[in-house]
Structure 1
Amino acid sequence: MSTAELTTGWHTVEIEGVRQAYEVAGSGPICVVHSGGPGMHADYLRMPPLEQHLTMVYLDPVGTGRSGLLPGGDYGVPEYARRAALLLERLDVTDVIFLGHSHGGFVALQYGITFPLRVRGLVVYDGAPVSSSLLRDEADRQMTAFVERWPERPEAVEAGRMWSARRAGEYVVHDRDSHRHYLDAVWPAYFADFRRTVGDLGARPAVEVTYDPARKPEQWDVRDRLGAIEVPTLVIVGDHDFVCPPVWSHELSAGIPHARLLELKDSGHFGHIEQPAEFQRGVLAFAEAV
């Protein structure tokens, strides 16, 4: 590693022939941040208050943002974890906290299972131990509950309609524009109170997503391997998260030996935006403890 590879700003390296981009910000112990989606650009996870205490390394995972697409489209959770490990090996850092959001939470779990000696702690933020019809069926139920909670809000009704249309095959995502249209429609469901969040921010929260038509579907399940995660683990979940709801985080906190659970009562899928102070306190307390 050259010291330049961990200086503030965006960096690009090549790993096994694929461009890997990451941003470094802050100072202190290293915290690697893996975005969700898959395909969500890392920018939405920037957390300046944490950067005052930690060196944050924000990944654009392969197939995302400034990083290259993966030939063949085999973007499995184990492959994401392996490529994160290759990057950290390139940077010559092992004693890290690995924070993964949503699909990135899946990657954090896999990283803890596969590379236990290369991590000091995991933060599984709105994650789950399974990516299959079980996850999607539970999200269906939670989306129904979301629409029932806000029946007078047209954006909530439209979110439910679009979600159901895609699940039924009536709406097909086939390119970047159709993916953006879909995400814009269901976006309000990702927040406990979308209108409150927009009011607090003064704007609609934004995220950029890379769509790769070559991406292959995946079945992934580590529920029977949670006991193998030996490092301290912080599990964070928003009580109103519909896509990775609390039932999964409860299973994680029960199954991982050294896990602690932080539930954000007024958050959906983006607690670092919806309840930033509580989120930051939880992560910093965990970082200090490990």
Structure 2
Amino acid sequence: MLPPVTGPLAQGVHTLTAEGLTLRYHVHGTGPVCVAHPGGPGIEWGYLRAPELEKRLTMVYLEPAGTGGSGRLDAHPHGYTRARYSGHLGALIDHLPVRRVYLLGHSHGGFVVQYHARHRPDQLAGVVLYESAPVTGPEHGEEIMRKVREFAARHADRPELQAVMEAFAAIPEIADDKAMVSAAKGVLPAYFANYWADTQRWSRLQEALRATYISGQDECGEPDLFDDREALGTLRMPALIVAGRHDVVCGVRWAEELHKLIPASQLMILEHSGHFGHLEEPERFALEVAAFMAAGTS
């Protein structure tokens, strides 16, 4: 029998220190190393766990600062900028016993990965921008509301729809952890291609969802908005762009734009998914992500 793997890539829960904060991360699976940054900001990492990927890759799931078991900034809930998150990613990757890793960012995590790819390309073999977008602010917000209206029209006959729409309306009023969790659970049905086709399964995820309120502002109270469209053209590493056909947050429009902007990119549209393709179409998601990484390491 082989001895158990020890060190920073041993299976299980780990911690490291970055900028005076304790950061927690989880290791599962075997194969090329892929560091995963969850979304939100503030959604705890467990929803992003992908067992099918873990059959093919060593998945390193970071709990970002301010979330879950990782430490909080003195300015909490403010100050969690992309630059700060990228610095913590850099510390984690330096902590691992590999020269370069693949980096997967989901939703807001994709925004962080875009930033990190521009500023620390030396650490990366490639990136997976999973339900990401090249811009935030009013333009992104308008697209979200357009897609939410499409979702509402598709499910106009559902008695549960009103509660989902009320949860969306409450998002601007979020100011603490309790409200964040309530809103995240409330809007979740809109994040699937068809939540009500498998309510029993997805309601378990909904019930298990945990979150921390992160304001999205820097220490001075300014929104951490961005427009990466010009900068993304400078990326030279391989990139896989993934989006669900029915995603209301960072859907196909943004995936296609990212694909056009990033020179060495591939595009994968999951036709039967919303925001959570790793759960809705797990086999295809895992096969194509693993194949993308295998091509880069062969």
Q: TM-score under structure 1 normalisation?
A: 0.92
After superposition, give the CA deviation of every residue in 1:107-132 in whole Å (9 maximum; x if it has no partner): 11111111112101100000111121
**Structure 1 gap segments, 5+ residues each:** none
- Identity of aligned pairs, percent? 39
Partner of 1:55: 58
- Contact 1:155-1:185 within 8 A present in 2 as well: no
Q: Distance in 1 between matches of 2:209 and 2:225?
A: 25
After superposition, give the CA deviation of every residue in 1:184-215 in whole Å (9 maximum; x if it has no partner): 22111111100124345683444211224695
Match of 2:256 among 250, 257, 272: 250
**Structure 2 gap segments, 5+ residues each:** none
The farther-off stretch of 66-75 and 241-250 is 66-75
Q: Distance in 1 between matches of 2:89 and 2:33?
A: 14
CA spacing shift, 1:15–1:166, aligned 2, 3 Å? closer
- Residue 80 of structure 1 deviates from its aligned partner by 1.1
Q: Distance in 2 between matches of 1:199 and 1:162?
A: 20
Partner of 2:192: 191
2:68 is the alignment partner of 1:65: yes
Equivalent runs, 1:129-208 vs 2, <5 Å? 129-167=134-172, 172-200=173-201, 203-205=204-206, 206-208=208-210
Match of 2:120 among 102, 115, 120: 115
Q: Distance in 2 between matches of 1:35 and 1:45?
A: 6
Partner of 1:24: 27
Partner letter of residue 185 of structure 2?
D
Q: Distance in 1 between matches of 2:167 and 2:269?
A: 28
Partner letter of residue 30 of structure 1?
V
Q: Distance in 2 between matches of 1:207 and 1:79?
A: 24
- Residue 243 of structure 1 deviates from its aligned partner by 1.0
- Residue 245 of structure 1 deviates from its aligned partner by 1.7
- Residue 142 of structure 1 deviates from its aligned partner by 0.7
2:233 is the alignment partner of 1:232: no
- Residue 173 of structure 1 deviates from its aligned partner by 1.4
Partner of 1:124: 129
Partner letter of residue 198 of structure 1?
T
After superposition, give the CA deviation of every residue in 1:82-121 in whole Å (9 maximum; x if it has no partner): 2101221133433111001000111111111111121011
2:287 is the alignment partner of 1:285: no
Partner of 1:98: 103
Match of 2:212 among 199, 204, 210: 210
- Residue 250 of structure 1 deviates from its aligned partner by 0.6
Q: Distance in 2 between matches of 1:251 and 1:231?
A: 17
- Residue 19 of structure 1 deviates from its aligned partner by 1.0
CA spacing shift, 1:133–1:100, aligned 2, 3 Å? same
Partner letter of residue 176 of structure 2?
D
| Cα RMSD for the two superposed structures | 1.9
Partner letter of residue 39 of structure 1?
G
The farther-off stretch of 139-148 and 109-118 is 109-118
- Contact 2:180-2:212 within 8 A present in 1 as well: no
Q: TM-score under structure 2 normalisation?
A: 0.90
Q: Distance in 2 between matches of 1:5 and 1:234?
A: 26
Q: Distance in 2 between matches of 1:104 and 1:214?
A: 13
Other structure's SS at 1:31 match: strand
The farther-off stretch of 176-185 and 33-42 is 176-185
Q: Distance in 2 between matches of 1:102 and 1:214?
A: 14
- Contact 1:144-1:160 within 8 A present in 2 as well: no
Q: Distance in 2 between matches of 1:179 and 1:17?
A: 26
Q: Distance in 1 between matches of 2:27 and 2:105?
A: 16
Q: Distance in 2 between matches of 1:102 and 1:237?
A: 10
Partner letter of residue 174 of structure 2?
V
CA spacing shift, 1:257–1:212, aligned 2, 3 Å? closer
Other structure's SS at 2:197 match: helix
- Residue 234 of structure 1 deviates from its aligned partner by 0.4
